[in-house]
Amino acid sequence: MSRLRLQDQVKWVPLASQSMVQKIPKATLAVLFTTGILTLLQFCFPVLIVTLERTPSMLAAGQWWRLITPTLINPEGWSQIVFNLLGIAVVGFLVERMFGSARWLVLYLAGAVVGELAGSVWKPAGAGSSVAICGLLGGLAAWLLWRRQPTQSRFGGAMILLGALVQTGMRDLHGPPLVAGAFAAVVMLSRDASRASGA
C-alpha cells in the first residue's frame, strides 16, 4: 500500500510541475526583465540612452534597430518607469494568456515598430516602452470584441479602439500602435476561425 502511494506521488509531482510551467508568462517575464535591467543601467551609463533612443537621423543612416531599442529604456523619470513596467506586467500577462508567447511577441513588436515610425515623425526624439504596450492593448481590444465577451468587456474593447483613432487623429504616437496591435490580432483570430471551420 505504501509503495503504491509513493509511486503515485512520484508520478504526480512532474505533472503538477509541467502544468505550472505552461502557465508561466515567458514572453512577459523576459521582456519585463530585459526592460527593467536596461532601464536601471541607463542611470549608470547615460550613453545607453543616446545609443538606444529614437533618432530619425540615425534611422535614416541605417540604424534600423532603433525601431525596437527605444522600447527597452524609459528615460523620462520614475513615473514613466513605474507606469510602463506595470503595463508590461499586467497587460502582458493578460494578453499572453489569450494569445500565447509567440503571438504576444508579434503584438509587442508590431506596436514597437509602428509606434517608433510614428514617433520619428510626430515626436522625433524620445524613448519608452509605452508604444509596444499599446500593441498588446490593441490586441486585447480586438480579442474582447472578437470573442463575444459580455457587453461590458466588448464596450471596453470598443473604447480602446475609439481612443486609438482619436489619438491617431491628434498625432499622438500611441494611436498607431494600438491600431497595429488590433489589426495583427484580428488577422490571428480570423486565421484561427478559418482553421476551426475547416477542421
Question: Which pLDDT score, from 0 to 100, does residue 17 have?
Answer: 34
Task: Retrieve residue 75's grid coordinates.
Answer: 528615460
3-state secondary structure of 126: strand
Tell me the C-alpha distance between 34 and 113, whole Å: 18
Q: Side-chain half-sphere of 66: how many Cα atoms within 13 Å?
A: 24
57, 120, 174, 190: the active-site residue: 174
Q: Residue 54 pairs with which residues in a beta bridge?
A: 126
Question: Which pLDDT score, from 0 to 100, does residue 71 have?
Answer: 97
Q: Is 2 a catalytic residue?
A: no
| DSSP one-letter code for 66 | G
Question: Which pLDDT score, from 0 to 100, does residue 95 have?
Answer: 97
Task: Retrieve residue 148's grid coordinates.
Answer: 463575444
Annotated domain spans of the chain: 25-198
Report how far apart, in Å, the C-alpha atoms of 168 and of each of 27, 80, 142, 171, 178 are: 28, 21, 17, 5, 9
Q: Is 79 a catalytic residue?
A: no
Tell me the C-alpha distance between 86 and 137, whole Å: 13
Tell me the C-alpha distance between 199 and 196, whole Å: 5
Question: Which pLDDT score, from 0 to 100, does residue 8 have?
Answer: 40
Task: Retrieve residue 20's grid coordinates.
Answer: 505550472
Question: Which pLDDT score, from 0 to 100, does residue 142 have?
Answer: 96
120, 130, 190, 197: the active-site residue: 130
Q: Residue 126 pairs with which residues in a beta bridge?
A: 54
**List of the chain residues with pLDDT < 70:** 1-22, 199
Question: Which pLDDT score, from 0 to 100, does residue 199 have?
Answer: 59
| DSSP one-letter code for 142 | H
Percent of the chain with pLDDT over 70: 88
Q: Which CATH architecture has domain 25-198?
A: Up-down Bundle (1.20)
Rg (CA), the chain: 20
